Structure 1
Amino acid sequence: MKHSESFKKIIDLRKKLHQKPEISGHEAGTSAMIKAFLEDLAPDEMIENLGPYGLAAVFNGTQDGPTTLIRAELDALPIPEEGNVAHKSLNAGVSHTCGHDGHMAIVCGVAAHLSETRPKKGRVVLIFQPSEETGLGAAQVIESKNYRKIQPDYVFALHNLPGYEKNEIVLKKGAFTAASKGMTIQLKGRTSHAAHPEDGRSPAEAMCKLIVGLEKLPEIIAGFSLVTVIHAQLGEVAFGTTPGNARVMATLRTYENDIMSKLTQHAERLAELVAKESGLDFSISYCEEFEAVVNDPAPWELVNESAKELKLKTKHIRNPFRWSEDFGKFSTLTDSLLFGIGSGKKQPQLHEGHYDFPDEIIPSGVAIFVRVIEKLNH
């Protein structure tokens, strides 16, 4: 990344990725674009079928040593892009408003470096995973047969962070991002004519109790937790009908995985009690489940030292971020670190229609990963 020509190629790639975003589970074109770029760099091995569309480039050393894995995300968001950049999304209603295009570009920059300077010890594996935004992708990668070929000793990833100075490295030991899950509670009673509600069994009162009760659960649980009711529906738009069904959807959020287990148990018990009290049947389902990302001390030291050596400003945060990242799947299995890189104090927030990844922070992202590789694999 020291050469302006190499940097230009990475920026061009980033803008091409930005123009052709694909949502979780549909990243075929993005994966093909990354594969073509990596193949030109002649890695020692390409590993595909790491979950749907996931792939990895492997760069081998000649001596025994650790396997260092660096991960980027392939997917974009179902959010319309509202800015007017020249490389604006060509896919209506889909955009890289989380910056995964920039994360991919950084890891491709690492690949460009490794193509010229192979590791001496062990190997470096660069993974591009699908479906981060839905919380499914990391698990799909880890559970795929081909992941057995990798078995990393260390896993690293970064995420750009609006609101922090450009190129500032944001670090925290222990929990870095929250665990979260989407909970859907279905209540089933019995419909009747609106003129005779006594002949039916309406879930209206139970639904209201659930909405209030769910959001009060954190008051009885030690440690940080948050319940946000995001949607509720009662019956149908039919003025002649007393409703017989209701649905309440909420996001559960904690900083620690064991507190998430407790919060989930309390929420399920609340649903059971409220339904029983009203004589209703109920069912519960979950989606978009993210474990907390918990950073380990050894990789934290490596990145902290690398940032200092590169004279990059560091910010050590006290509290985890409330948003979630499916990197938590890696962090439960392997010594790992997810760190932040500032993308500008005036940068639009993640998942906002005017967001566009700032190319100026790409060299710092590449440099951090390269320095870590030099510490572990040289």
Structure 2
Amino acid sequence: MEKLAEELQKIRRDLHQNYAELSTQEFRTCQRIQELLKNLKRTKVFPIGKTGVMAVFEGKEKGKTIMLRADTDALPIEETNDFAHRSIDPNVSHKCGHDGHTTIMIGVAEMLEKNPINKGKIILLWQPAEENGMGAKAVLEDPQFENLKPDMVFALHNLPGFPLHKILYKDGAFTANVKSLIFDFHGKTAHAAEPEHGFNPAFAMAEILEKSKNLTHNRPQDENFFLITPVYADLGTKDYGISAGKGSLHLTIRSWSPQLFDQLTNELIEFAAQISERNNLKLAISWTQEFLSNQNDKKAVEIIQKSAEELNLNHQKIKDPFKWGEDFGLFTQKIPGAMFGIGSGENCPALHNPDYDFPDEITLTASKMFYQILKNAI
């Protein structure tokens, strides 16, 4: 196992340095994964979802079909680390650990090659475009996925702030429902000295932001957790003699409950429509980057707990879900399964921070965990 750990570290650092690609652009990463798997004799490897990769292991005996998923895309973040495997792209880097997740699944493939599970069918998925919520949909809509029909699906995410190797899991919601709402306002420009002759969206935008603040209940421990975060705003132009005639406001919204999400977002949209009409503004509404909540199946969680116990890993059933969105939620909405976490260090920089780097120490642990889950689930 020590040799495998060294091999996986080299792979992970190569991916970090040379294969940081944005969502839906993971063409080189897709090719590299297939190259790394080309010597495996017990599996069928093929691209899926345009820039994803899938490996299917067929057992000799009948059994369940179990899918494990990793993600592959990077983020538009300039890296501040100065280590040898720093990203060669100054504008893109692996700041969520997907280079590590990809490597973990390569480790699982190596384990299955050397010690096959000769029952059922095992699907390993390297999913693209997790960060923009488009990857799971692309895989599910690929005709090649149609006949696979997994009985159960599993995924993990590394978790800064928790001890290295610690396994975290829970029943029900593991991550939030997350969706981004865009308001585009079209009014009428006027002279800045005579704004009464135009229709400026500024004050309507201010009222909507205030409404968003009032609707927010940012207490993750409560069932009615609901959070609206302003992420982008644009108003007029930098012409100081012109009263703005157009504006745009982007909000990211998250909750545990899909029902509460719909209820409160509908309230906000209705409010925005009323305010816009009152201010003689045309309002266009659109949505982007939808992440459905990861709904962990109870039986799948039991398999995760059992696997952690059998590997003598530090593990914990947590109470509250995580506030971030995860594209794996689309799978768990359709197929029984679960996402779990693995600690990436109490002092590890947070996800999406420019100084974050996936800890190589946990790669082999995570690969072993996935392999054990397969043995218990199949």
Q: Normalising TM by the smaller chain, what interval?
A: over 0.9
Q: Give the conservation status (yes or no) of the 8 Å contact 1:215–1:229.
A: no
Q: Does 1:233 align with 2:234?
A: yes
| Equivalent pair of 1:217/1:266 in contact (CA under 8 Å) | no
Q: Secondary structure at the match of 2:161?
A: coil
Question: Is 1:42 equivalent to 2:41 in the alignment?
Answer: yes
Worse-matched range after superposition: 115-124 or 192-201: 192-201
Which residue is equivalent to 1:80? 78
Does the CA contact (< 8 Å) of 1:44 and 1:58 recur in 2? Answer: yes
Given that 1:60 and 1:118 are in contact with CA atoms closer than 8 Å, whether structure 2 keeps it comes out as no
CA contact (8 A) 2:308 2:369 kept: yes
Q: 1:370 corresponds to which residue?
A: 371
Q: How does 1:92-171 map to 2 (within 5 A)?
A: 92-171=90-169
AA in 1 matched with 2:299: A
The residue aligned with 1:310 is 311
Distance across 2 between alignment mates of 1:322 and 1:179: 8
- 1:274 aligns to 2:275 (yes or no): yes
Runs of 4+ in 1 over 3 A off after TM superposition: none
Q: Is the 8 A contact 1:174 1:294 kept in 2?
A: yes
- 1:197 deviates by 2.0
Residue 41 (structure 1) shift: 1.6
Summarize deviations over 1:227-253 as a string: whole Å, max 9, x none: 111222221111221211121111111
Q: What is the distance in 1 between the residues matched to 2:239 and 2:249?
A: 19
Q: 1:32 to 1:362 in 2, by over 3 A?
A: same
What whole-Å deviation, never above 9, does each CA across 1:123-148 have from its counterpart, x for those lacking one? 11100011001111111111111111
Q: Label 1:244 to 1:88 Cα distance change in 2 as closer, same or farther (>3 A).
A: same
2:21 — aligned with what? 22
Q: Is the contact between residue 47 and residue 146 of structure 1 (CA under 8 Å) also seen in structure 2?
A: no
Quick one: distance in 2 between partners of 1:204 and 1:222? 34
Partner in structure 1 of residue 254 of structure 2: 253
CA contact (8 A) 2:163 2:345 kept: yes
1:121 deviates by 1.3
Task: Note the C-alpha offset of 1:218.
Answer: 3.1
For residues 76-125 of structure 1, give each alpha carbon's deviation from its aligned partner in whole angstroms, at most 9, with x where no partner exists.
11111111221111111111111111111111100001111222211111
TM-score w.r.t. structure 2 length? 0.96
Task: Tell me how far apart the structure 2 counterparts of residues 263 and 130 of structure 1 sit (CA, whole Å).
Answer: 31
Give the corresponding residue for 2:204: 206
Identify which of 177, 183, 186 aligns with 2:184: 186
Find out whether 1:344 has 2:314 as its counterpart.
Answer: no
Identify the residue that residue 57 of structure 1 maps to in structure 2.
55
TM-score (norm 1): 0.96
Q: Structure 2 CA distance, aligned partners of 1:317 and 1:37?
A: 35
**What residue number does 1:13 align with?**
11
Provide structure 2 residue ranges, at least 5 long, that are not aligned to the other structure: none
Task: Name which of structure 1's ranges 243-252 and 294-303 shifts more when overlaid on structure 2.
Answer: 243-252
Q: Kindly indicate whether the alpha-carbon contact (under 8 Å) linking 1:43 and 1:57 is maintained by their aligned counterparts in 2.
A: no
Aligned-CA RMSD value: 1.6
Residue 366 of structure 1, CA deviation: 1.1
Q: What is the CA–CA distance in structure 1 between the aligned matches of 2:377 and 2:192, rounded to whole Å?
A: 70
SS at match of 1:332: helix
Q: Number of paired residues? A: 374
Alpha carbons of structure 1 residues 222 and 300: separation in structure 2 relative to 1, 3 Å: closer
For residue 351 of structure 1, report the CA deviation from its aligned partner: 0.8
**Alpha-carbon separation, structure 1, partners of 2:79 and 2:373:** 35
Amino acid at match of 2:265: T
Letter in 1 for 2:40: L
**Structure 1 Cα separation of the partners of residues 358 and 134 of structure 2:** 24
1:222 Cα deviation (Å)?
7.3
Q: Do the aligned residues in 1 keep the contact of 2:223 with 2:257 (CA within 8 Å)? A: no
Q: Secondary structure of the equivalent of 1:5?
A: helix
**After the TM superposition, which of the residue ranges 240-249 and 156-165 deviates more from structure 2?**
240-249
Specify the alignment match of 1:324 in structure 2: 325
Closer, same or farther: CA 44–231 of 1 in aligned 2, 3 Å: closer
Which residue in the other structure is 2:174 paired with? Answer: 176
Give, in whole Å, the separation in 2 of the partners of 1:314 and 1:205.
50
Moved more, 110-119 or 230-239: 230-239
Give the partner amino acid of 1:82.
T
Q: Secondary structure at the match of 1:180?
A: strand
- Offset at 1:150? 1.8
List alignment gaps of at least 5 residues for structure 1.
none
Q: 1 CA distance for matches of 2:123 and 2:70?
A: 11
Q: 2:34·2:46 contact (CA, 8 Å) conserved in 1?
A: no
- Partners of 2:360 and 2:223 lie apart in 1 by 42
